[in-house]
Amino acid sequence: MTQLALVIDLNVCVGCHACVTSCKEWNTSGWAGPMADEEPYGKDPSGTFFNRVQMYEVGEFPATETVHFPKSCLHCEEPPCVPVCPTGASYKREDNGVVLVDYDKCIGCKYCSWSCPYGVRELDEYQKVMKKCTLCIDRISDETKPEAERKPACVLSCPTSARLFGDVHDPDSEVSVAIRENAGYQLMPEWGTKPANHYLPRRKTRIQIFEDELIRADNPLKKEEAVGEIIGDTIDDVAM
Amino acid sequence: MLDPTTHPDSAIGRVETKNTTCYMCACRCGIRVTLRDGEIRHIEGNPEHPLNKGVICAKGASGIMKQYSPARLTKPLLRKEGAERGSSEFEEISWERAFDIMEERLGNLRATDPKKFALFTGRDQMQALTGMFAKQYGTPNYAAHGGFCSVNMAAGMIYSIGGSFWEFGGPDLERSKLFIMIGTAEDHHSNPMKMELSKFKRHGGRFITINPVRTGYSAIADEWVPIKPGTDGALLLAICNELISQGLFDRDFLVQYTNAAELVIQDEARDDDGLFYRAEMHVEEGCFDPENKLWWDRELDVAMSTRTPGSDPYLLGEFTLDDGTKVKPSFQLLKDRLAEYTPEWAEGITGIPVETIKRLAHEMGVVARDQKIELPIQWTDCWGNEHDKVVGSPVSFHAMRGLAAHSNGFHTIRALSVLMTLLGTIDTPGGFRHKAPFPRPIPPCPKPPKGPEAVQPNTPLDGMPLGWPKDPDDLFVDGDGEPVRIDKAFSWEYPLSVHGLMQNAITNAWRGDPYKIDTLMLFMANMAWNSSMNTAKVREMLVDKDENGDYKIPFIIVADAFQSETVAFGDLVLPDTTYLERHDTISMLDRPISEYDGPVDSVRIPVVPPKGDCKPFQEVIVELGSRLKLPAFTNEDGSRKFRDYPDLITNFETSPGSGIGFLAGWRGKAGEKSLKGEPNPRQWEMYAKNNCVFHYELPLSYQYMRNWNKGYLEWARAHGLVRYAEPINLHLYSEVMQKFRLAAQGKRPGKQPPERLRNRVEQFFDPLPFYHETLEAQQVDTQEYPLNALTQRPMAMYHSWDSQNAWLRQIHTHNYLMVNPKLGRAQGFDDGDWVWVESPWGKVRCMARYSESVEPGTVWTWNAIGKASGAWALDPDANESQKGFLLNHLITEELPPSEAGEHLSNSDPVTGQAAWFDVRVKVYKAEEGEPEVSFPQFKPQHTLPGQPGKRGKWQVYFAGMFNRKKSA
C-alpha cells in the first residue's frame, strides 16, 4: 500500500515560513478551504493554518542551536484521530494513506484533536469543523497538472528544498532513501501512531586543520627574503 | 464532500495563468499567477525562471493578501483646505487635477530654482527612470534608499574590487567548500541564498556564520561565532594579519591582479606622498587605472614597469628609486598596518576568543591554498597571456547590513574586500563572482555634478544625480567647499556618498540647511516611520511651521500604494498600483538580476487591472516629464515623445541611436540583438512569451576572472556594459582615498575641505582599511549605555509592507526586545516583562523576550513590525501598535556637535551610510502599574477616502468568491 508522506530536513530549514503561507494560499481556495482569518486586521488575529513553523532554542549561549521546526499532520499509519471520530468524518484513504476530514460529516466535537498527540488538528472557528493538512490532496491527484507539479504546495515552494514528498513504503523512493541515509526519524514513536512524516536531523561539517598544514613549502613569505649582502670575511676568503 | 481526487481544482471556475515578476520583496523572483474567475487563485514560483527556479517565499505566497489589502489607496487625495498636515483630512481629486497641481508647481520651480524640488524614493526598482527624470528636471536633490540601506556594502567593495554583493555579485556556493556569512540576517539575497545554502550544505560544504544573533540562515550554520556589533572590522583585520603572518595568502594572485606589488611614494614632505609612483609614459585619458606604475623586480633588484613579462616583484621591502624617491610596495604598507591588529588585540574588541580567530584564518587559508579548483577553461587576460585553466580558491563570503550599517562600515567592508583579495577569490570558481554589468572600473565612470553651476533653470542637471567620485575634484560642492545637495551628499562631510543620504533629507529641509526647498516628493518611502531615525521628531518636522505660519517644508507629495504612516503627511497623495497591476522593468541600467554566467533582466506585466483610480508611479513620471517638456520626454517639435511607460521602455535610448535602453533582451528591429540594438516594437511581447525574463549566457571563457578577462571586457565594451576594455586591478591600497587625504592635508591643488572638516577627512580617508570605534560610541557614555541595539528584518516580512497582510501578520503580530537571559536576570526583569529601552536620544517601552541566541551585550528586535496606531488599515488597537514598537525612536539622525560640524549625519564619514546599528542603550524593567502598552504612542491615523471598507471579524478568502462575499 502506498503511504504518502513528507520528509522534512531540519538540517537546511531556515524557518522562512514559505511552507506556511503557500499551504494557506493553495488550500484556502481549494478542496479543503476556505481557511478563514478571525480579526484579520484587528487585535489578536487568528486564522486557520494547516502547517506552522515553531522555533526552538537548544542549549545555552554561546552553545546555542536555533531550530526551526515545521509541523503539520503526520498522516500516521495508525492515526488515533480516526477511531475516535463519532461520525466517520475523520478517515484515512486506502489508496495513498492520506488522513482527511470530511467537513460534511464533521460535527466539530474535537475528539480527534484531543487524541492527536502532535497537536496538529485545529478547529476552524468560522465553519466549526476540524481542518488539517491534506498533503494538498486536490493538487497531488490533479492529473490535469504536469507530473512535476503534482506535489504539495509547501514542497514546491520550499526555497531550501527542505521538504521531500513521496511514498515511504517504496524503499527506492526519494523519501525512503533520505530517511535511510540521513538518520530520518519519527516524532514520538513510543505512541505507536507510526507517523508517516519523518524528520532529518541537523548534521555538522567540520574542517580539521593540522599543525603541519601551517608549515608550508609554498609559504610565499620565502620569496620576500632578500638575498643578504655578505658582510666581512667568509672561510672561503681566509682558509688556505 | 466531493472526492478531491476526481474533481480537479481547475474545474471550480474559469482559470487563467499569467507570468510576471514578484515584488513582495526586492528579490524579484519569477512568478506564475493563476486566476480563477478573475481573482487570484494562487501565486507560485515560476519553475522556468533562472532566479528562483520555481520556489517562492512566505511573502511571495501571500501576494493575494497584499493585492486585496484594505490598506490600498485608490484615489488621488488632496489635503483639505484648512486641515492640518498629518491629520489625514483629505478630499478625493481627479488625476487631471493632481497633474495640474504638480505641473504648475514643479514647472515654476524648474523655471526659477530647480533644486527646490526634491525627489526621494524608497525601495523602488525604477531608479533608472526616477534618476533620469530628476536629471532631466535639473534638480540635484534626488536619491533612493541606498543611503539608509547598504551603501557601505556597495561603495566599500566597488571601490576595492569593482563589484559588490547581492545584485552585483556573490558567493559561488556551487563550488565553494567553506562559506563565511558575516553580518547577514534573513534577507538579501533572499530565495537564491536559501536555495544555494541548502545545496551547499548537502554537498558537504562548511558554513560559518559570524553574527551577534543566531536566527534564520545562521540557524543552519555549522558554526556560530557570536560577535559584538560594530567590531567586524577588527575581526577581519586580525584574520588578514594571521593569514599574512602564516604565509597563507595567494601571492601570484596579488602580484598579477592587484596593486599589492606597486610602489607607493613614502615621503611625508612631498605632495604626492602615499600615491603610487607613476613613471612618465604615454597615458590614455579615461576613467580607468593607467598602468604606468612600478614594482621592484626580485631578480634584477631594480624598479621595473608593473607586469613586465618575466618579471617577479617583491611584495615586501622598502626601496629607493634612481631619483631618490623612497617607495614601498603597497603590500608592505598593508602588512605594516596590520601589525597592530593581532588576533589577541581583536579578542578584546570582538569578544571572540583568540583561538577562534586564528582557527578561522587557518581554515580560510588552508582551504584556499590546498583545495584549489582548476576548471579546464581557456581564457586570455588583458595583457595577452593565454590561460588553459581557471583557478579558484573555494572560500566564499557574504555580508550585508551587519557590516554596512555602522559608521565604521566602509572600512570594515574594505577589510573584507582585502581579505577576499588575499585569498585570491575574486571572480574565481568557488569564491566571489561578479554579475553583469559588474565588474566596472574602480570607481565606475559616472560622476556627480561638479558645483552649483550644474543646476540651472529649465535645464537638465549637468552630471548624474548619483555618481562615483574618483578624487576631490569630483565632489559636488560650492566655492567654499560646502554642499550643493539638500542631503549634503558628495560634500566633504560624506565624500563618497554614492547613494545619497535620504535619511537626512527631511531634517535638512526642515532646518533650511544648506537651503530651504519647496516641494518634497516621496515615493514608496516610509519616512514618517521606519525609514527615518529619530522618528517622533521627524514627524514633528514634517508639520512644523515658520513664524508666518507656513510649513517649513511647504509642499509634500507622497506616492504609495498603501496607507502608510507617511501618507498622512502628504499634501498631495498619489495612489500607486501593486506589482500585479503594472508594467515594470528590472533593468540593466539599475539593479538587474544578473546571474554569475551572464546578464539577466526582467519585466512585470499586469495580471489584474488596477484597483480604483490607482496609477503606476512610472506613468506619473512619464506624464509629468511630458507635461514639463523635459528634453528626454519631448520631441524636437515640442510634442510628447512617449505615449506611456511601456512605450517609453520600448523606444527610449540612453542617447539617440545608442542602442541601449531599459531592457537588454530582444533588441534590434526584429528582436535579434541582445544588450545593444535598435528599439524593437515587439520587445514586451517577447518578454511575455519568455517568462518575463531575459538571460544572456556568456561563453564559459568569459565567465571568470572578468576584471582581467580580455574576451569578456571586449565583449562587455561592444555590448555597452563598460566604457573601456582595460584591466580592473584590485585596490588593495586605495589611491582614491589617499587623494582625499592629501587634499585634507593641504597637499593637493583643487577643491579643499572646509577647515572644520580637514581632520575628519584626513582621518577617515585612509588608503588602507583601519578599525575605529563607531562614532556614536566615541561620543556617548558607553558605561551608562552599555548595550548595542539592532534590528533585523524577518524572512516573512518586507520592511513595513506586510503588517497589512492578513496572513503574514499572524506570523509576526508584534515584536519583542530579544535579550540574553543573563542580561535580564542582572537587570531584574523576566521573559515577557515590560521594559524600557533607553538611548541618549530617546526611550521606548516594549516587551522583553529571553533568547540564548544573542550575545549578552546585544539586544535586538524585528524591524518595522511596530506600527503607528491606525496605519496600514489596522484597527487602532491592533497588536502592531499596542505591543509592537519601533527601535528608530532611539536612534539619532545627527551626531552631537563636534569640531567637524554642528549637524553631521549619524553616518559613515566616508559614504554617508546611515549608522542604524551604532545605537547604544540600556534596558530596565518598567514600573509596576505602568500601562502595558508600547511607548511612544501617536494619535491614531484614520482611514482615507477611497480605501476599501473594513473587513469585519472574519475574512474568508476563496478565489472567485471573495469580492462577491467579502466578509461575514
Question: C-alpha cell of B546?
Answer: 515658520
Give domain status of residue B309, yes or no.
yes
From the list B504, B197, B249, the residue with the least C-alpha distance to A13 is B197
Residue B157: inside a domain: no
- pLDDT, one tens digit per residue, over B52-81 is 999 999 999 999 999 999 999 999 999 999
pLDDT in tens, B469-481: 999 999 999 999 9
pLDDT at B281: 81
Closest Cβ opposite residue B958 in set A33, A162, A216? A33
Q: List the single residue in B201, B251, B851 with the smallest CB-CB distance to A223.
A: B251
Length of chain B: 968
Please give the pLDDT value at position B272. Answer: 97
- Among B733, B750, B785, the domain boundary falls at B733
Pick B878's closest partner by Cβ from A15, A31, A42. Answer: A42
DSSP result, B107-135 = HHHHHH-GGGEEEEE-S-S-HHHHHHHHH
Whether B881 shows a pLDDT value over 80: the answer reads yes
Which among B558, B781, B411, B487 has a CA at the least distance from the CA of B79?
B558
Instruction: Dig out the grid coordinates for B197 from the structure.
Output: 545554502
B935, part of any domain: no
Q: Please give the DSSP secondary-structure letter assigned to residue B634.
A: B
pLDDT at B864: 87
Residues on chain A touching B217 (C-beta within 8 angstroms) = 14
The reply to whether residue B877 touches residue A42, judged by beta carbons under 8 angstroms, is yes
* Whether residues B173 and B43 fall in one domain: no
| Neighbour count for residue B638 (Cβ, 10 Å) | 7
CATH code of the region A13-164: 3.30.70.20
Report the alpha-carbon distance of residue B863 to residue B886 in Å, rounded.
7
Q: Single out the residue in B41, B56, B71 at which a domain terminates.
A: B56
Closest partner residue to B879 among A43, A126, A137, by Cβ? Answer: A43
Q: Running DSSP on this structure, what letter comes out for residue A181? A: H
Residue B252 lies in a domain: yes
How confident is the model over B523-529, as a mean pLDDT?
96
Could you tell me how far CA A193 lies from the centroid of its own chain?
19
Q: What is the pLDDT of residue A227?
A: 56
Q: Tell me the C-alpha to C-alpha distance, in Å, between residue A144 and each of A44, A148, B424.
A: 40, 12, 51
What are B210's strand-pairing partners? B182, B225
Residues 6+ apart with CB under 8 A from A158: A18, A19, B55
Q: How far apart are CA B749 and CA B735, in angstroms?
A: 16
Residue A158 forms contact with B (CB below 8 Å): yes
Cβ proximity of B90 and B581 under 8 Å:
no
Omega within 30 of 0 (cis) for the link into B514: yes
Q: Are residues B335 and B220 in the same domain?
A: yes
Interface of A with B in 170-229 (CB under 8 A): 202-207, 209, 213-214, 216, 218-224, 226
Q: In what order do the strands lie in the sheet containing B142-143?
A: B90-92, B77-79, B572-575, B555-560, B519-523, B117-121, B142-143
* Calpha distance B865→B499 (Å, rounded): 26
CA B712/CA B144 separation, integer angstroms: 31
Name the burial class of residue B629, with classes exposed (0-12), middle (13-18) and buried (19+) by CB atoms within 10 angstroms of its CB: middle
State the pLDDT confidence band at B283, using cuts at 50, 70 and 90.
Answer: confident
Share of chain B above pLDDT 70, in %: 99
Residue B930 has pLDDT above 70, yes or no: yes
Q: How far apart are the first and last CA of chain A?
A: 98
Give dist(CA B758, CA B743) in Å, integer. 8
The answer as to whether B205 is a domain residue is: yes
- Whether residue B512 is contained in a domain is answered as no
B347: in domain: yes
The DSSP result for B670-735, as a single string, is TS-BSSSSS--TTHHHHHHHTTTEEE-PPPGGGSS-TTSBHHHHHHHHHTTS-S------B-SS-H
Residue that is written with C-alpha cell 514634517 in the block:
B542
Contacts of A221 in chain B (CB under 8 A): 247, 316
Give A 19-78 residues with CB within 8 A of chain B.
Answer: 20-22, 24-26, 28-47, 49, 57, 59-62, 64-68
Residues whose CB is less than 8 angstroms from the CB of residue B561 and which lie 6 or more positions away in sequence, other chains included: B72, B73, B524, B575, B576, B577, B578, B614
Rounded CA-CA distance B196/B53 in Å is 12
Look up the ipTM and state it: 0.96
Which residue's entry shows cell 483630512?
A: B89
* Lateral strand order in the sheet of B30-36: B15-21, B30-36, B39-45
What is the helix (H) or strand (E) element at residue A72, kind and residue range? strand A65-72
Share of chain A above pLDDT 90, in %: 93
Rounded to two decimals, the pTM is: 0.97
How confident is the model at residue B965, as a pLDDT?
57
What CATH number is associated with residue B18?
2.20.25.90
Residues B42 and B175 in one domain: no
CA distance B930 to B911: 42
DSSP string, B383-431: TS-EES-EEE--EEEEE-HHHHTSTTHHHHHHHHHHHHHHTT-BTSTTS
Average pLDDT, chain B: 96
User: Are residues B52 and B168 located together in one domain of the fold?
Assistant: no
Q: How far is B882 from chain A (nearest CA, A)?
A: 9
Q: Report the C-alpha gap between B307 and B691 in whole angstroms.
A: 46
Q: Which of A21, A26, A96, A106 should one mutate to test binding to chain B, selecting the residue with the greatest count of B CBs within 10 A?
A: A21
**Domain containing B39: what range?**
13-56
Quick one: average pLDDT of B681-694?
Answer: 98
Q: Grid coordinates standing for B698?
A: 556568456
All cell numbers assigned to B381: 587576460
- What is the pLDDT, as a whole number, of residue B282? 81
Question: Contacts of residue A17 in chain B, CB cutoff 8 Å?
Answer: 57-58, 795-796, 811
Whether residue B124 has pLDDT greater than 80: no
DSSP class of B940:
P
**Binary contact (B366, A21; C-beta < 8 A):** no
Contact, A113 vs A123, CB < 8 A?
yes
> What residues 1-20 of chain A have any CB closer than 8 A to a CB of chain B?
11-18, 20
Chain A residues with beta carbon closer than 8 angstroms to that of B317: 224, 226
Residue spans of chain A under pLDDT 70? 226-230
Q: Which residues contact B792 (CB under 8 A, 6 or more apart)?
A: B185, B186, B213, B215, B216, B860, B861, B862, B863
Classify residue B218 by burial, with Cβ atoms within 10 Å: 0-12, 13-18, 19+: buried
Q: How confident is the model at residue B968 (pLDDT cuts 50, 70, 90)?
A: very low
- Torsion-angle region of residue B870: left (phi > 0), alpha (psi -120 to 50) or beta? left
Element (H, E) at B19: strand B15-21
The reported pLDDT for the residue numbered A18 is: 98
One domain for residues B37 and B178: no
Best B3, B6, B9 member to test A by mutation, with max A CBs in 10 Å, is B9
Would you say residue B651 lies in a domain?
no
What is the tally of structural domains in chain B? Answer: 2
Cβ count within 10 A of residue A227: 7
- Strands B817-819, B842-850: pairing is parallel
Nearest C-alpha of chain A: how many angstroms from B804? 7
Beta bridge partners of B374: B391
Render pLDDT for B439-463 as a digit per residue (tens, 0 to 9). 999 999 999 999 999 999 999 999 9
Q: What is the pLDDT of residues B168-206, one digit of tens each?
A: 999 999 999 999 999 998 777 799 999 999 999 999 999
- Cβ within 8 Å, pair B9-A142: yes
Q: Which amino acid is present at B948?
A: P
pLDDT tops 50 at residue B967: no
Smallest CA-to-CA distance from B184 within B453, B477, B398 is with B398
Q: Work out the minimum CA distance from B76 to partner chain A, whole angstroms.
A: 24
B425 and B300 share one domain? yes
φ, ψ dihedrals at B127, nearest 5°: -65, -25
Cβ atoms of B137 and B108 within 8 Å: the answer is no
Residues B174 and B39 in one domain: no
- CB-CB neighbors (< 8 A) of B9 in chain A: 30-31, 138-139, 142
Contacts of A141 in chain B (CB under 8 A): 4-5
